[in-house]
Amino acid sequence: MGEFQSDISAKRLLELYSDMIYRIAFARTQNKADAEDITQNVFLKYIDSNKRFNDEEHRKAWLLRVAVNCTNDFVKSAHYRNRAPIEDVPDAEVHIEENSEIYYAVQSLPEKYRLAVHLFYYEDMSVAEISALTKIKETTVKSQLSRARDMLRKILKEAQYEL
């Protein structure tokens, strides 16, 4: 595996974490251009912070935290709230070939639930970890997941997924 290096190249950093950051941003915004903007912000903050990390987990946790914060800032911005609906911006659509049922089901969830769903099901984070990362109370995270599951069950009822 090799010794841990706190300082790594931009290329290596992106290899390790760009997918993770982009997916978190996309989970919330459901928009390719927005997810790219947020991803860029996260990595530029990384460069700007010049932070030293103890190990790779430390670096990952820091990046996750910044990704969540950047996404929050982005969706709360006046620009995001005042823009036209996505249906009017065809270029923003992301082409999903497989599992489109899942895509549309998740897309129909309220934006806050999408992040909890993503962190729980894809990043395999516990409720406590999601709570610590997002600074949302555990009871709230639990209720977001519970509500999301209810909604997903209704939407995906014919497919009978185990949630």
Tell the smallest beta-carbon distance from residue 154 to another protein (Å). 7
User: By CB under 8 A, is residue 157 in contact with another protein?
Assistant: no
Site string for another protein, 15-44 (x = CB under 8 A): ---xx--xx--x--------xx--xx--xx
| d(C-alpha 75, C-alpha 79), whole Å | 8
Minimum CB distance to another protein smaller for 1 or for 34: 34
User: By CB under 8 A, is residue 89 in contact with another protein?
Assistant: no
SS3 100: helix
Longest Cα separation, the chain: 50
Minimum CB distance to another protein smaller for 1 or for 58: 58
User: By CB under 8 A, is residue 83 in contact with another protein?
Assistant: no
**In angstroms, what is the C-alpha Rg of the chain?**
17
Token reading at 161:
């997924």
Q: With b meaning 16 or more CB within 10 Å and e meaning fewer, what string describes 118-156?
A: bbbeebebebebbbebbebeeeebeebbeebeebbeebb
Minimum CB distance to another protein smaller for 54 or for 160: 160
User: By CB under 8 A, is residue 61 in contact with another protein?
Assistant: no
The residue written with tokens 């390719």 in the block is 32
> Phi first, then psi: what are they for 118, rounded to 5°?
-65, -50
Tell the smallest beta-carbon distance from residue 2 to another protein (Å). 21
CA-nearest of 149, 133, 131, 151 to 141 is: 131
Chain residues that interact with another protein, rule: CB under 8 A: 9-11, 13-14, 18-19, 22-23, 26, 35-36, 39-40, 43-50, 65-66, 69, 72-73, 76, 81, 94, 96-99, 102-103, 106, 108-112, 117-118, 121-122, 136-140, 142-144, 146-147, 151-152, 154-156, 159-163
